[in-house]
Structure 1
């Protein structure tokens, strides 16, 4: 029974990424998972950010003989933003890098999702004030540009 519930949970992962949660941007595509991962990484670079982290269970699960849909978290940021965020709120820096989430859908397409930077930094708004809100707005625009480039 445990194996069945595990499989059902894994099958639900792509669906969870597609439901628009508060503060999330979700972009469905006709692209394959591998293509969307590559295009997202390229778009991050094109828009002046750096891929700082990448993590996902897909390859590790496959190495264990478990096949799950493609699933990768890509953390993006750059040092300019890191320094500026730190000037406003040391605590807010725990949110960096801000992450993109690429998920493979049952039909072979992929979805790009992310929490908007303004949503991510909202808990620190009182501490970071207007300068942090300005940084979050800039990052909202950057992340939207990355998403538009990656999904088109």
Structure 2
């Protein structure tokens, strides 16, 4: 594991990493998280009775939009031309909430882990916003990168992912 922080210069100031010398490679990152809520909330969504309408579709679109805006939200992220963003929200089998997963792809000199994490986070926040009128107990949890590929470090499955 690297102990040097790449976003800190020799003078101790934050800076954007120079990736101009890095090769452009195909890169993919996946991330996931969960919105934990009451079983009744999941049922309302499944039955299409949420007060704000198409909850899942809207939250998935919000996640895609979030991935595209990552560089605007995270100060030292590089703006990337994303070639694919897919966000899927599914009800958990046990009825305890929703699983949120994002897959982000690009071809470039730096990875898309932050975009995948942002997609999951924004999708979860949108889901929360659309359901908060019916469930005050909700919480987002377990947001993590589950895999990445491409670049100098190659493929990386997160063996610690829950």
| Range into which the TM-score falls when normalised by the shorter chain | 0.3 to 0.5
Q: Whose relative contact order is higher, 1 or 2, with alpha carbons under 8 Å and at least 6 apart?
A: 2
Question: Higher helix proportion, which one?
Answer: 1
* Bigger-Rg structure (1/2): 2
